[in-house]
Structure 1
Amino acid sequence: MRVSLGGVVKAYGANTVLDRVDLALGARTRLGLVGRNGVGKSTLLRLLAGVELPDQGRVERTPATLTVGYLPQEHDRRPEETLLGYLARRTGVDDAQAAVERHTTTWDAEAYGAALERFLALGGGDLEHRARTVCAELGLDVSLEQETATLSGGEAARAGLAAILLSRFDLLLLDEPTNDLDFDGLERLERFVAGFDGGLAVVSHDRAFLDRTIERIAEIDPWTHRVSEWAGTWSDYEAARDLARARQYEAFADTEERRSEVEALLAARRNQARAGGGMAERRGTKALAGKVRQARRSLERIEHVEKPYEPWQLRLSLNARQRPGDRVAVLEAAVGVRGDFRLGPIDLELAPGERVAITGRNGSGKSTLLAILLGELPLTAGRRVVGRSTVIGSLDQRRQAYDGSTRALVRFVERTGLTALDARTLLAKFNLGADHVERACETLSPGERTRLHLAELMARGV
């Protein structure tokens, strides 16, 4: 089996995302797709999946019966959709079943047979049984008939993992699959990838995961919008990329030095020619002109070497002022309840400057604890105390503050109180330029929305 892109170009308005991209995936491919936020990684997956069409170029899939599964970064929980319905949709069984039902009334035996074969190949025949088993193994203790909109963040993460583990595609495209997974879920995902017979392309910023699962890296260049491929794991790619970048820097510096030397020589010859005034100087004009022409030709022969771009790095500076004698937040025998879930009693004290990681299995109550600290979940027992000068900010899993059709700049100004000019200046430091801030929030990638949140925390002096 094979899926390939040839000379693919994709743009949104005036913004070119992918330019003349060539890429091929086959059986047992293990490809890691990397690049900075918003560079077009998810777009490339959608093109491979056939969810989007290229503006130019071709996307070819062989054989025609090839099944391609695309599991996007965000869980896309739909109103009134049950957990079983969600799993059927994400595994492709839902569409396959619809095709079978459609052909039961057409009296086209060949089309019906092909649709039924596809349905069975995707695991539709025993999906419900397998779903119960996988959900139980993952500790997802909810009914398959429960609506996904009512799942907690931890339960939604396990539902997303269940969809991957239940997949039977020929080619599987995963967008940030390790997001929100606990250690057990991550181990299960790695075991699934190791045993998966089909081809795999994964977008991930998890370097350890890429090192353990990937055999080839494809990088999208943010300036040229082209794709470069590297053999090996993330670590192999990183070493080869850094070496190539160092060599390009060296070649660029050598070229610029030679160019400067020739330009200085050319300027000296010209000055000499302008300064000549006597008979001897006039007799030497012809020879001097020849030297000027020779210097120009030397300058033209110097090969142009592109200056390597400087990778952007986030420099986040949160409020680090010390508050003598103050505590950031304190929980004393605090108990919080969400539905049937009860967390507590908890005793916790956060001091100025502390960096605390909250760990635990999906569904163990990490988000509930944060909701208690933020004051979003009322306590049923105990108390919560926040320091006098504490400024609280949060970055939620679904980045809901920056969603919808409102322009990113408008929403950011509303939430921070900055002027539009100051907001643009700050957002530029987070690599969010005019082409980002003038777009609707919902069109930004999850990574770009995360940077908006981080810029907001910095603006508010959290």
Structure 2
Amino acid sequence: MTIGPSSRIGVVGPNGIGKSTLLRVLAGTEEPDSGTVERSPRTMTVGYLPQETDAQEAETLLGYLARRTGVAAAEAELDRLTQLLERRGGDDPEVLGRYSEALEVFVALGGGDLAARVGEVCAQVALPADRLQVAVTELSGGQQARAALAAILLARFDVLLLDEPTNDLDFDGLDMLEGFLGATPAAVVAVSHDRAFLDHVVRRIVELEEESHRAVEYAGGWTELVAARRLRRHHQEEAHRSNQEERARLTERLRTQVSWSEKGVRAEKRKPRDPDKAQRKTRADRTERQASKVQATERKLAQLGEAEKPWEGWDLRLRLAAGRRSGDVVARLHDAVVERGSFRLGPVDVEVGWRERVAFTGPNGCGKTTLIRALVGGLEVASGGKYLGPGVVVGDMDQARSLAEDPEEVLLPAFCRRTGLLPEEARTLLAKFSLAADQVERRWRLLSPGERSRAMLAALAARPVNCLVLDEPTNHLDLAAIEQLEEALAGFDGTLLLVSHDRRMLENVGLSRTIDVGALPRTHGRGDEGRPASPAAPAARARARNGA
């Protein structure tokens, strides 16, 4: 794998194949088992921004941004060399040379004007200035997502290694990210499951194959990869079919030739022919020719070889069974106000009918999750009316992936409690979602985000429901699983409430309408995620009722 100046490379592959490991090896934080990673020039700066927030204990937002942009480490090296120069009288040529290099790195990473740029970028991503001295762990989920985005926008590395950079970003954040990556002079390598992002940003894709664990490179974005992979599979299928047909033809010919040869030998033994020498020679020549034909066919069979059957791989085969029909009105909020801490949404009027497919969109922190929890979940309204229709059976995949009530709880008993399945039944179902025997015995907190997501999907498939509530369902799923989820949703005969920033999924699930939650009246307390409050307006309430 070669990364050149201004490269735009996407990395895809199934969960657990080693995409994040590849980035860590490229970043130099993990050593390869074999082979080497070469950098040219030696002073090249490489920034690795992992999938998780990775904030250190009590680390403020400002400190977090300085660390993730590489400025904190560069400044620490400058300070160390400054102290070393002072101890040596300031005239050590070797230390002076190292100091000059360190200063160049500090300046190249944007250390000189970081403070000013932090203020601008935080305003751009809607992070209030008073958050800079707050510990990252005390920020809301939406603010942490915007902090990760701010770290990317502030970065001035020569090479940027990004692990799932679109996770948890709203549409505004996605636009900012894609605009920055399109303009930066840095080379970019991004692990991503976001198909629109891969089409908009990258110019070639490296796929880590499940069957071989080899890296296969494709020119273009996701759309070009799908077309090239489809063509490649078609050629493999044709080669395999031709190989099998030719093998069958040669095998049948060999069987016939051997049969003829054996038949002649048996006849000669049973009833010897004329002892005439010339006749015997003719018969011997004929037998030799027949034997030669058998050998020639055997050689052709050996030379034919085996054309491998195209790899099938793990198939989720998710089926979302719809339960009995609910009433015409699935859920309704009338003049409802919903409060969560100091966050207040409403008053709003929203009604969802049977078999509607409704997407809830809007910026992070605007109240999408709050609204769907008030509609069909356990969140009560502070005022106004709330109605859940008769016969509504809800299947829920929340953004936090909270199948287990306690993060220390083991997956198997938590899954059995959630679904009502017996342990052996649960094991069988979880295995279909690529969760093996050792994984189902792990504590919930020790499972990877992808494993938790697959466990949540398995829980949805465990029992019939007639109302699906999916809150950012594509987060931490690989691309194959996302596409199989879309296929399952296409066949689901019930009501769908969807929160997603996956632009391709919103295009593919056949939405009835979209509700722009960002247009609804709401207020925020100090430190809560979201934009400035929208004034209460009848027009906004009408949009929620009728769809945007």
TM range (shorter): 0.7 to 0.9
**What pairs up with 1:288-437 in 2 under 5 angstroms?**
288-310=290-312, 312-325=314-327, 327-373=329-375, 375=377, 377-401=379-403, 408-409=411-412, 411-433=414-436, 437=440
1:458 aligns with 2:461: yes
1:118 aligns with 2:105: yes
Change (3 A) 1:433 1:253: farther
Give the aligned CA root-mean-square deviation in angstroms: 2.9
1:55 aligns with 2:30: no
Q: Give the whole-Å Cα distance in 2 for the aligned partners of 1:110 and 1:415.
A: 63
| 3-state SS of paired residue (1:379) | coil
TM-fit CA distance, 1:417: 3.9
Deviations 1:338-370 (A, max 9, x none): 343211122223333322110011221112223
Q: Give the whole-Å Cα distance in 2 for the aligned partners of 1:337 and 1:213.
A: 39
The residue that corresponds to 2:193 in the other structure is: 205
Segment drifting more, 301-310 vs 357-366: 301-310
Segment drifting more, 361-370 vs 327-336: 327-336
* Structure 1 stretches lacking a partner, 5+ long: 1-22
Equivalent pairs, count = 440
Q: Give the whole-Å Cα distance in 2 for the aligned partners of 1:371 and 1:94.
A: 41
Deviations 1:182-205 (A, max 9, x none): 222221111101110110011222
* Structure 2 stretches lacking a partner, 5+ long: 86-94, 273-282, 466-548
Larger radius of gyration, structure 1 or 2?
2
The residue that corresponds to 2:450 in the other structure is: 447
Q: Give the whole-Å Cα distance in 1 for the aligned partners of 2:12 and 2:349.
A: 41
Deviations 1:99-130 (A, max 9, x none): 33333433344444433432332222332321
Contact in 1 for aligned 2:327/2:391 (Cα 8 Å) = no
Q: Give the whole-Å Cα distance in 1 for the aligned partners of 2:57 and 2:373.
A: 24
Change (3 A) 1:259 1:364: same
| 3-state SS of paired residue (1:174) | strand
TM-fit CA distance, 1:413: 4.0
| 3-state SS of paired residue (1:124) | coil
1:134 aligns with 2:134: no
Q: Give the whole-Å Cα distance in 1 for the aligned partners of 2:208 and 2:409.
A: 28
Q: Give the whole-Å Cα distance in 1 for the aligned partners of 2:237 and 2:368.
A: 46
Contact in 1 for aligned 2:331/2:376 (Cα 8 Å) = no
The residue that corresponds to 2:209 in the other structure is: 221
Q: Match for 1:170: what amino acid?
A: D
Q: Give the whole-Å Cα distance in 2 for the aligned partners of 1:202 and 1:37.
A: 15
Deviations 1:110-151 (A, max 9, x none): 444433432332222332321121111222235211232233
Q: TM-score, normalised by structure 1?
A: 0.85
Change (3 A) 1:116 1:249: same
The residue that corresponds to 1:175 in the other structure is: 163
TM-fit CA distance, 1:320: 1.6
Contact in 1 for aligned 2:326/2:390 (Cα 8 Å) = no
Deviations 1:149-188 (A, max 9, x none): 2333322222221111111111001122222222222211
Q: Give the whole-Å Cα distance in 1 for the aligned partners of 2:333 and 2:319.
A: 27
Change (3 A) 1:328 1:318: farther
**What pairs up with 1:20-35 in 2 under 5 angstroms?**
23-35=1-13
Q: Match for 2:306: what amino acid?
A: H
Contact in 2 for aligned 1:322/1:353 (Cα 8 Å) = no
Change (3 A) 1:428 1:267: farther
Q: Give the whole-Å Cα distance in 2 for the aligned partners of 1:205 and 1:147.
A: 29
Change (3 A) 1:358 1:313: farther
Contact in 1 for aligned 2:205/2:219 (Cα 8 Å) = yes
